[in-house]
Amino acid sequence: MYGYPDAEPFHLSSHQQALIHDLELNILFQAMARDDNFLSEVAQRAILSGLENNTDTIRYRQAALKDCLNNREVVQKLYALTAEATVGTRTLQWTSSTYEYLTSLHYYAIDLLELLLPKLRSLRIIADESSESFTSEAFRAFFAMLREELGDEYLATIGMHLSELRFRKGILLSAALNEHNEGTNYTVRRRTGDELKWFDRLLGKTPPALLVYVAEGDVVGAEVLAEMRRQGIGKVALVLAESAEHVLRFFEMLRTELGFYLACSNLYDQLAGPGPAICFLNQRRRDSASTGFVDYAIYAWFCRRSRSLSRTMQT
């Protein structure tokens, strides 16, 4: 939508509330939302910030809206996909560095990314199947981005990394010693084919190694191991959380963008049929003028009033 604001919590100012009341804009928002609270909020944001738009932005959005009107089923599918990815999903917050918290953050971020990964693949499939039906700059650029950045090999690689980061075979860490001979710079390392085959493990064909066992009941030893794991997993957990938040944010913004065009499509449906004609403005000169416009809120109010008077007269 050309610099549409981020989907932060939206609250109407007293000035905006007065403007909505004076211009009866709730009638307009209801027509655009069709009882969908999310679409109502998106419509309010867009309408109330409309004075900030230049002619290029208006033409850009009009072209995208025409694509939506001509490809209703595809846009509805995209919007439903973004709703599935975002509704009820808890955003990640990282404000603690304790071992228990970082471990929970680590695995929750993996769960979230594994949930969103099929959604990304579905977006790319829709782009492959439907991009040729769209002509606007907005949708052409969007579908091109999906095809370029979400290839099968890339998505498969992400899935493989997420599986490895579950550490089902334990965590491989490297470390260094500081000047006091204390462990530092704990770093998670990727296993590179060093695992023994099951037959070798069965026969005990293991390479020589120095092993340290923590005795049962050794609280101090267990705490030392937990601290080593915390330092190793901490950086990974934060990177995973940031990545998951980024992908989730992408779906939230896409839902907002698509929601705006769906709300406009709903309004278009309300205006279709008998009544004022619908047109898309394409004026490029600042000194040009147009006549014959109808305020939708007034038009809808008169329509309701007329129907009410008609029913009264019939009774």
Q: What is the pLDDT of residues 184-208, one digit of tens each?
A: 888 888 876 555 555 555 455 555 5
Cα 9 vs. chain centroid, distance in angstroms?
Answer: 15
Confidence check: pLDDT of 2 > 60: no
Q: What is the pLDDT of residues 77-132, one digit of tens each?
A: 999 999 999 886 765 555 555 556 788 888 889 999 999 999 999 999 999 999 99
Tokens 């953050």 found at = 105
Q: How confident is the model at residue 7 (pLDDT cuts 50, 70, 90)?
A: very low
SS3 state at 118:
helix
SS3 state at 28:
helix
Confidence check: pLDDT of 158 > 80: yes
Residue 49 tokens, joined: 């910030």
Q: How far apart are CA 121 and CA 151, in angstroms?
A: 8
State the CB neighbour count (10 A cutoff) for residue 5.
12
